[in-house]
Amino acid sequence: MPGRSLIVIPTYNEIENIRQIVQAVLELPHALEVLVVDDNSPDGTAGAVAELAAAEPRVHLLRRAGKMGLGSAYIAGFHWALARDYAVIFEMDADFSHDPGAIPGFLDAIRETDLVLGSRYLNGVTVINWPLRRLVLSYGANVYSRILTGIPIRDLTGGFKAFRREVLEGIDLDELRSDGYSFQIEMTFHSWRAGFLVREI
């Protein structure tokens, strides 16, 4: 994929994971950069990222004043990325629920599409160590959302994604108000409705 790629990772109290997840991304055979958007974690997450950034120019930190929600953290990260020359912008969690080893597959897929979604329900159910209640709730939410929106996507609530910058430029990010699962649905819905190509892997 031509151009630079940025992994946006929102954090709140991720001191136990953040060094390892950033290192795992940087070790991939791609010139990836990481932006950590930290909501003033009291456990020192931002300080750990600042230390990483001081030693590695591919690591960046965006500090926010307090816990303001996942959706607004991603929007802040997207604005940061769009102000710079990144061609591909990822969403990824800090707790290893999203495998950094899957990132090369996203980069391959986005050569021929605009938005790549990491799907838990594309080929059956590929979820590990979830309680049955959480799995049923997630799966049901996806079925309901698919019926409601008409989007032909199996996993609308997942948060492992890669956008071409043109997708984020084509969405009015400041008009988005949802958070959590609903933020993920809204981002995919607006991308699809604007005519961008969406692919699950």
Interacting residues of 73 by C-beta distance below 8 A, sequence separation 6+: 10, 37, 39, 64
For position 177, what pLDDT does the model report?
81
For position 135, what pLDDT does the model report?
45
Q: With a threshold of 0.95, does the pTM exceed it?
A: no
Rounded CA gap, 151 and 188, in Å? 9
Q: Chunked in runs of 10, what are the mean pLDDT values of the chain (201 residues)?
A: 87 97 95 97 98 98 94 96 97 94 96 92 56 52 56 78 97 88 86 93 92
Token reading at 173: 């990010």
The answer to whether the CB of 17 falls within 8 A of the CB of 94 is yes
For position 144, what pLDDT does the model report?
45
Token reading at 167: 């997708």
178 residue type, one letter: S
Interacting residues of 151 by C-beta distance below 8 A, sequence separation 6+: 145, 188, 189, 192, 198
